[in-house]
Structure 1
Amino acid sequence: MVAFKGVWTQSFWKAVSGEFMAMLIFVLLSVGSTINWGVEDNLQQADVVRISLCFGFSIVTMVHCFGHISGAHINPAVTIAFVCTRKITLAKSIFYIAAQCLGAITAAGLLFIITPVNVIGTLGVTALNEGLSVGHGLLIEILITFQLVFTISAACDSKHKDKLSTLCIGISVMVGHLFAINYTGASMNPARSLGPAVIIWKWENHWIYWVGPIIGAVCAGAAYDYIYCPDSELKQNFKDALKKATQKTKGKYIEVDDTRSQLDADDLILKAGAIHVIDIDQTERKKAKDSASEILSTV
């Protein structure tokens, strides 16, 4: 139960419901743009530019609307990357990912209901180009998700004072689609691929759209936070801990106490423009003093 501290609060469940709603709207609007409305002999080719713009601007809109409520991850790969970089706890991420997947499935179901049967097709299920191998598809998903999550990490960086961070994330999604739609369908988001797959029940090579984005997201988050723009305080703590660990006292290694509490390391507070990462646990402790409410948020 200690691991789930901070979960059983009203503000956290508002954040979880925000992830559900953001994913529902995102998938409904963006996947809806992939529907082929041509009929019989007048079939229309998928408009790559239209689809890319819809995905990109949908993300911009959802991040703007839900960024201060839930952080608008709107992507299980992003949530997992933030677990690895200690911006959100594992316990909280479980609820986020569940809400995201449920929102995507609900959106795909609604889209299936409101779309005429003769134009439903595959309902936007992501699929590999026939000329690509599974390995190629996996690599492409890793690469396009890497650039997305690296952009998100930069947008969330409190040292990066960019007021257009929300727009930058949308452009990153747009660029990924412009490049990879004809390769893999440009998922970059396991939940986005899961929703249509569940409704149409088409699972061919579906694992690629989980493994690829997760690998790309974790690599991007780790590269940004631990290589390119490491937190100076965290870096110094690691150095101090390593120094103490290598010291000996009477033939025994001394015990090392990290100067930074685990609670502080679980959820980092970052602010950059319209995007915020808010520490639920810290706010919950503050709430016990002044009855203030809490909000968790990361992009």
Structure 2
Amino acid sequence: MHSSVRHAVKCFFAEILGTGLLVFLGCMGCSSTVNSITSPLQASINVSLVVMMIVQSFGCISGAHINPMITLAACVYDLVSIPLGLVYVCAQVLGATLGYGLLKVLLPAYIMDVAYNDHGFCVTVPAKDITVAQAFGIEFIITSVFVMVCCGIWDPRSANLIDSVALRLGLTVGGLVGIARLLDAGPATHNAAVLAHC
């Protein structure tokens, strides 16, 4: 097998696993039950730790993009070719779908029930006072901040600071998810997760 094909296959499976784990563990850690309601702070901390684990585990294989917008930014930044970027995005959507499917299999039905959660479990929905345009603006800004942080990490001037990448990305995502959870009712900032629920 040609080395570029082997690399693409490795990246494909790393992105499937990473994105699947992000959706599975991220949503599971944000789940509420009859006896326990998850606060935005708990959701933030959970997602931070999940992202740190995924970046530490899969960053050396694929860069652990685990988000189509990060892959798009990597293509623009010329870190990933467009064909490989398409492989990443396909893997991310597939991984998110598999992660959400695993949640549906393993979590009790009442947690996944639409009636229990108004709109369904782990679905990005604006809060009742937020319009669709406002939600789009919030998501756009939050995603842009995440992309800017990734570009800062990829910058050659940051090459000697790679030992803390998992920590920096995890805390960034956790902070952004905490902000987003105050304004909507679901897993913001992750496009593949949103597609997995469709």
Give distance in 2, aligned partners of 1:10 and 1:178: 38
Paired residue secondary structure (2:156): coil
> Does 1:190 find its partner at 2:186?
no
Unaligned runs of 5+ in 2: 114-119
User: Does the aligned pair in 2 maintain the 1:34–1:123 contact within 8 Å?
Assistant: no
Task: Specify which structure has the higher proportion of helix.
Answer: 2
The residue aligned with 1:10 is 6
- Find out whether 1:117 has 2:118 as its counterpart: no
Q: Is the 8 A contact 1:36 1:120 kept in 2?
A: no
Q: Taking structure 2 as the reference length, what is the TM-score of the superposition?
A: 0.88
Deviation digits for residues 54-100 of structure 1 (CA, Å, limit 9, x no counterpart): 11111111111111111100000100112122221111111110000
Residue of structure 2 equivalent to 1:33: 29
Q: 8 Å contact 2:68–2:92 — kept in the other structure?
A: yes
1:179 corresponds to: 179
Structure 2 counterpart SS, 1:127: coil
Q: 1:115-146, CA deviations, whole angstroms, 9 ceiling, x for partnerless residues?
A: 11122242211111110111110110011111
RMSD (Å), alpha carbons: 1.7
How many percent of aligned residue pairs carry the same amino acid? 24
Quick one: which amino acid aligns to residue 111 of structure 1? L
The one of 23, 30, 44 aligned to 1:52: 44
SS at match of 2:61: coil
1 CA distance for matches of 2:64 and 2:71? 10
Unaligned 5+ residue runs, structure 1? 1-5, 199-299
Which residue of structure 2 lines up, in the alignment, with residue 128 of structure 1? Answer: 126
For 1:167, the aligned partner's letter is L
**1:27 and 1:108 in contact (8 A); partners too:** yes
Partner of 1:222: none
Cα-to-partner distance string for 1:239-286 (whole Å, 9 max, x where unaligned): xxxxxxxxxxxxxxxxxxxxxxxxxxxxxxxxxxxxxxxxxxxxxxxx
Any idea what SS the aligned residue of 1:129 has? Answer: coil
The 5 Å alignment of 1:1-299 reads 9-38=5-34, 44-121=36-113, 122-160=120-158, 161-162=160-161, 163-184=163-184, 185-195=186-196, 197-198=197-198
Letter in 2 for 1:123: F
2:116 aligns with none
TM-score normalised to the size of structure 1?
Answer: 0.60
Distance 1:46 1:32 in 2: 10
1:108 Cα offset (Å): 0.4
